[in-house]
Amino acid sequence: MSSNRRKFLRNLTIGAGALTVSIPSLAEVKKDEEDLRDTSGTGIQHFNMCGYAAPKIETVRVGIVGLGMRGSEAVRRLSYIDGLEITALCDKYPDRVAKSQLILEKMQRPKAKEYSGDEGYKALCESKDVDLVYTPTPWALHTPVSLYAMRNGKHAATEVNAGKTVDQCWELVETSEKTKKHLMMLENCCYDFFELLTLNMARNGLFGELIHGEGAYIHDLSREYLFNKNAYADMWRLKENIGKNGNLYPTHGLGPIAQCMNINRGDKLNYLVSMSSIDFTLGDLAKEKAAKDDFFKPYTGKSYRGNMNTTSIRTYKGKTIMLQHDVSSLRPYSRIHLLSGTKGAAQKYPEPARIAFGHSWIKEEELKDLYDKYSPPIVKHIGTIAKDVGGHGGMDFMMDWRLIDCLRNGLPLDQDVYDAATWSSIFHLSQLSVNGKSKPVDVPDFTRGAWKTNKPHDMTLDGGATTGVRQVKGKQ
């Protein structure tokens, strides 16, 4: 691979604890764009992880790194799955480990080995009694933990985004290929019920040739979460909104659309342009909070990302995708999830979800018939239980169950490292475009040309669906 492609593009990133940032000049942005133009996939692919089936693991031993909001909930959900043992728990703060041990006790699971401290994850990854490292940490740790896990012979599953820079995304790809260890990004929205319905409908040609898709993460986090001292440890998520202007959370909207369009499996993302508004909210909220509480004074006078970012992507085959990101405006929640094809269309938000095969949306009873006929086998097998266990309406549990079932049965994963890298790279590439006055920026081909022959994955559950779900007395 060329040295340009592997260049560290650090001038757009900040650590989870940093508050000082460096905004690149237009000349620096132009140079970074030049470094990213070598995206033809001419480098050497060490091993194709798309469709790779790792050896079966009869009982998957899981170590969980990061036990905050997402992590503690993962402990509960995973405890329902048979053929799984939670053997290790790790968090920077020991009290969080202790609280997760109580969850295991309530779920009638054995106590797990404990790790804590800033680099406690390293000892967990080195442990001989872990097969899968599951990482719901702050964003800055997703790549380091995943890399260390794979390099120590463990499969890795990480919350979104898998990487914050293009260089990190390449490192994840190369490490997964060299170690033949899975890296799955835990993109739960790919397992929501309507998204799975539209995926199976697209696979069966009901929308015809897909032309355009729209996805988003529109969710007002500013008041309840970003400025809440008890929400995100060390205020890490608020800090992630300082000094970056782009789509900071692209994968919820992009992932399901990319699967429907067979991205990395017959088509690839080609280039993007991105534009952001200025910040109309976060700076003012910081001032308002600081006037009442000195704790927030360090967060005033900062360069916060704009409220709304819109990123347009064109694929190699000429299809288009529009992504939006806004977590600080007073708007109803939306991921949009719109698919437009030559024979039909679908749109989830604003709810209720709708499908059309002409100028009007079909009736509710017709939509129910489509759910009955085209919901993929995973929904029919585990969907009702997933809704009962919970986690964003059941999609979190469906994702967890499917991951474990694939590992236990030696099946390829629904999302591979190329998906993780491609979808996550929009975080960095959108910032390059915004800071370059919305100039086009190429999207790297992380498959190095293998997208031309990679086959779509259809979640048929062939050879799988053998993993049971435990009935827990007095469950939480």
For each of the domains in the chain, give its residue range(s) and CATH number, in order of start: 10-42+190-378+414-452 (3.30.360.10), 60-187 (3.40.50.720)
- Ramachandran quadrant class, 243 (left: phi over 0; alpha: psi -120 to 50; beta: rest): left
Instruction: Name residues of the chain where pLDDT drops below 70.
Output: 1-42, 472-476
Instruction: Tell me which amino acid residue 204 is.
Output: N
Residue 47 backbone dihedrals phi, psi, to 5 degrees: -165, 140
- The confidence score (pLDDT) of residue 22 equals 37
- Say what the pLDDT of residue 42 is: 53
For 350, 362, 370, the CA distances from 365, given in Å and listed in that order, are 19, 8, 9
What pLDDT is attached to residue 476? Answer: 44
How many residues make up the chain in this entry? 476
Q: What is the pLDDT of residue 472?
A: 65
Structure tokens at 140: 């800055």
Helices 94-106, 69-78: inter-axial angle, 10-degree rounding: 30
Question: Is the CA virtual torsion 221, 226, 227, 232 positive or negative?
Answer: positive
Return the bridge partners of 184, or none. Answer: 157
- Residues 87 and 391: their CA atoms lie apart, in Å, by 22
**Residue 463: predicted pLDDT:** 82
